[in-house]
Structures are given as structure tokens and as C-alpha cells.
């Protein structure tokens, strides 16, 4: 890599994702790499995560870290001393932005909320709460271990302990109507800070809900109702000053999750912990990303780290059409869309030229895409139907 290229690479932001794979229980809708274990040896896990962090610093050296994200699983079950040690090690291994965003996902049970002060003291400055619903019947259906009252108490505690906080809700649940969702949205907006994530319930293969739905245990709202709920969500949040900056994420101006923007802008990040993925610039002298995937199973991962210094299951190079398609799939999720200059710097080609008029023109004419001199973006209607749009673009 030339000196000029190295300098440009060093100026690009780097995100660090740290995966904690353990939960108290497995939610019936969850297909994430999360596991329930009777006991966790926290010191052993802290040492292993630090070891793989050091390996990741050798994979992506000389970079400036702008975000750290603790995901899971349930990272609020981590010992705060482990969180503090990992943050300190990131700062020792890389140059770190003075205003580094450090997010940790948490559940609002009273046990986990009791750790908020210690997590803030450890260096976490942004909390993401998995509330998922604001009524107890829905929480029981979703398999959550907290009550609505616990959620409210955890939100109040988060407000006192963290300068930035967000929470998640799941909608398009069985039996949910636009009227009942409007009431829940209004309640959420009375509690919101700067950021809110609102996800439509989807049924994923391998989850308990997949089996339950197949045997007729519940029925999701039909497509027409789901579309109404989506449009209602976008309009209500925009009117409240939290427009969507991504399909499911809403924020006040300047308050978007910077770590997730790294993903959607197809910038660089390293991932450590079981099942974590990384994407960072390849130094092969051509537009490419180096993709890493760590071993998924917690026991297999920790044994690999202790024997070899990392738990990498697969490393590959993403280039050419694969690189273009990944950048498209991420960037079109954003309300701002794809910055054509940034896209060209990553992939080596302009997105409009790469896709061609034959594929783009019908989608523009249908009101699903917009093109201007600086951006390619999906319209609100296009983001609502993004899977169908992408099928047309990457076929």
C-alpha cells in the first residue's frame, strides 16, 4: 500500500464490535448468536476477549477507533470490570477519538439496571435498552423477563446515568392494530431521549416462534396492516422530531448511533467474540474488504483463543461485484442513501454507473429510488420495500 493510501486509510473511522454471547434466557423470536449457560467464568472470558482484541489490532493496525459497541447476547450481564478492561485495552491498542462512542446493549431487569452506575463508571457512554414492549401481555408473549414497570424504572435510571440512551420496541405483533400501536408509540415518545429503534416482528427459521407460527399458535398482522403500521411509525416519529435515519432507527438531528452508521456506510469495523464479523480495508492494492468471522459456539471460540490467540473461523476477501452488492445492501437502508463519492472510494466505481440505466430507470420511474449528483437513495416507499428493490438491483 502506498504512503498516500496508508494515510487515507488511517483517517477512516474504525468501529470495534465486542460480542458477549450469554443471556439469562433465549427469547422466542431471537436468531442471534446467544446462549444460556448456568455459570460463566468471567475472568477467563475477560482474558480471552482481550487476547482476541489484540489479534484484531494486528489485523487492522494504525487506525483511529471512533466507536465501541458491546452487543450480544446480553452484555449488561458482563462484569463491569470486564467492560472497563476491554475499553482500556482498545484505547491502548489504537488511536482513539476523544469523543469515542461506547454503546452497551442492556435488558431492563432490576438486576441488570443495578449495574448501570458501574457500567457508566467503566466508560460506557451510550446505553441501548431492549424494552421491546410497554405492556405486560406483549412482554410475556415476547418471552421477556422484565415487566413494563421494570422497563420504566430502568429508563429513568438510564436517563440519570448516561448522557445518551436509546431503547427498542417490537411492533406488528399478533393482534396489534394501528390504534393500539398509536397509543404505545405515544407512551414511548413520552419516555424517549434522543434515539428510538422500532422493529417489525419477523419470524426467523431456527427460533421457537418459527415452530409456533407453523403450528398455528399465533398469526401476525397481514401485509396491508403491517404496511400501515410501518407508515404510521415513520410519520409519528418524524412529527415528534425523531425522523428515520435508517429503516428501523429514529433519532434527533445529530444523535444517530455512530457505530451502526459505520455498518450502513460500509466503513471499517473489527469484530471480536463468538460469531462476531469484521469488515475492514484489504491492503491488496485493489478495492476490497477483508471479511472475518469468528467461531460461533462459546466453548469452541474460547478454546480456540486460548490455544491460538484468536477464534477466527473464516477469512476472505470481498471484491468486485460482491463488494458492490454489499455496499448497496447496507447503504440503501439509510434515509440519506449512498454517498456516491464514498462508494467510489470503497468499491472503485460509481454506484449509478455500476448498476446501469436499465436496472435503475424502472425503479426511479416507480418512485422507489432517487438519483442526484451526490447520492443514490431509496425513497420512503423504496425503503419499505427494500428487499424487493435489492432483488432487482443485484439480480
CA 121 – CA 81 distance, rounded (Å): 10
Residue-wise pLDDT for 105-126, tens only, equals: 999 987 788 899 999 999 999 9
Residue-wise pLDDT for 165-183, tens only, equals: 999 999 999 999 999 999 9
Per the CB < 8 A criterion, the answer to whether 103 and 124 are in contact is: yes
Is the residue at 217 inside a domain?
yes
Phi and psi (nearest 5°) for 94?
Answer: -130, 160
If one counts the domains in the chain, the total is 1
Q: For the residues of 337-371, what is the DSSP string, one character each?
A: -EEHHHHHHHHSS-HHHHH-HHHHHHHHHTTSEEE
CA 209 – CA 203 distance, rounded (Å): 6
Question: What domain range is 112 assigned to?
Answer: 3-262
* CATH, residue 114: 3.20.20.70
Task: State the cell numbers at 311.
Answer: 477464534
CA 134 – CA 149 distance, rounded (Å): 9
**pTM score > 0.85 for this model?**
yes
Per the CB < 8 A criterion, the answer to whether 323 and 288 are in contact is: yes
Residue-wise pLDDT for 274-332, tens only, equals: 999 999 997 766 799 999 999 999 999 999 999 999 999 999 999 999 999 999 999 99
Mean pLDDT over 66-86 rounds to 96
Is the residue at 82 inside a domain?
yes
Residue with cell 466508560: 123
Is the residue at 55 inside a domain?
yes
Task: Enumerate the β-bridge partners of residue 316.
Answer: 291
Is the residue at 340 inside a domain?
no
CA 265 – CA 41 distance, rounded (Å): 37
Is the residue at 372 inside a domain?
no
Is the residue at 386 inside a domain?
no
CA 102, distance to chain mean position in Å, is 13
pLDDT tier at 33 (50, 70, 90 boundaries)? confident
Residues 394, 275, 313, 15, Cα dihedral to 10°: 70
Is the residue at 232 inside a domain?
yes
Confidence (pLDDT) at 10: 55
Amino acid at each position: 500500500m502506498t504512503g498516500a493510501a496508508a494515510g487515507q486509510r488511517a483517517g477512516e473511522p474504525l468501529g470495534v464490535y465486542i460480542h458477549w454471547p450469554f443471556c439469562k434466557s433465549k427469547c422466542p423470536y431471537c436468531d442471534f448468536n446467544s446462549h444460556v449457560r448456568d455459570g460463566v467464568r468471567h475472568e477467563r472470558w475477560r482474558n480471552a476477549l482481550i487476547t482476541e482484541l489484540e489479534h484484531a489490532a494486528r489485523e487492522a493496525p494504525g487506525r483511529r477507533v471512533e466507536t465501541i459497541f458491546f452487543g450480544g447476547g446480553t452484555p449488561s450481564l458482563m462484569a463491569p470490570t470486564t467492560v472497563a478492561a476491554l475499553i482500556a485495552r482498545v484505547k491502548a491498542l489504537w488511536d482513539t477519538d476523544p469523543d469515542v462512542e461506547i454503546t452497551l446493549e442492556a435488558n431492563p431487569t432490576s438486576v441488570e439496571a443495578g449495574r448501570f452506575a458501574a457500567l457508566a463508571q467503566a466508560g460506557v457512554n451510550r446505553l441501548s435498552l431492549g424494552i421491546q414492549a410497554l405492556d405486560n401481555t406483549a412482554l410475556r408473549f415476547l418471552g421477556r423477563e422484565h415487566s413494563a414497570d421494570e422497563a420504566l424504572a430502568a429508563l429513568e435510571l438510564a436517563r440519570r446515568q448516561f448522557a445518551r440512551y436509546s431503547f427498542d420496541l417490537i411492533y406488528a405483533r399478533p393482534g396489534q392494530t394501528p390504534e393500539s400501536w398509536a397509543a404505545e408509540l405515544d407512551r414511548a415518545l413520552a419516555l424517549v431521549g434522543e434515539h428510538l429503534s422500532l422493529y417489525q416482528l419477523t419470524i426467523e427459521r431456527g427460533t421457537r416462534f418459527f415452530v409456533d407460527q407453523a403450528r398455528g399458535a399465533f398469526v401476525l398482522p397481514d401485509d396491508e396492516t403491517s404496511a400501515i403500521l410501518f407508515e404510521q411509525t415513520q410519520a409519528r416519529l418524524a412529527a415528534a422530531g425523531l425522523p428515520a435515519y435508517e429503516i428501523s432507527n429514529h433519532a434527533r438531528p445529530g444523535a444517530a448511533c455512530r457505530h451502526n452508521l459505520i455498518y450502513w456506510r460500509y466503513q471499517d469495523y473489527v469484530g471480536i467474540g463468538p460469531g462476531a464479523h469484521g469488515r475492514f480495508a484489504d491492503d491488496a492494492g485493489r478495492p476490497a474488504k477483508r471479511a472475518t468471522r469468528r467461531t460461533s459456539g462459546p466453548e469452541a471460540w474460547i478454546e480456540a483463543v486460548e490455544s491460538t490467540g484468536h477464534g477466527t473461523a473464516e477469512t476472505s476477501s470481498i471484491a468486485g461485484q460482491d463488494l458492490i452488492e454489499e455496499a448497496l445492501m447496507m447503504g440503501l437502508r439509510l434515509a440519506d442513501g449512498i454517498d456516491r463519492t464514498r462508494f467510489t472510494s470503497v468499491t472503485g466505481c460509481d454506484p449509478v454507473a455500476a448498476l446501469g440505466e436499465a436496472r435503475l430507470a424502472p425503479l426511479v420511474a416507480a418512485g422507489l429510488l432517487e438519483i442526484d449528483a451526490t447520492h443514490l437513495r431509496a425513497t420512503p416507499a423504496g425503503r419499505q420495500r427494500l428487499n424487493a428493490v435489492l432483488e432487482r438491483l443485484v439480480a
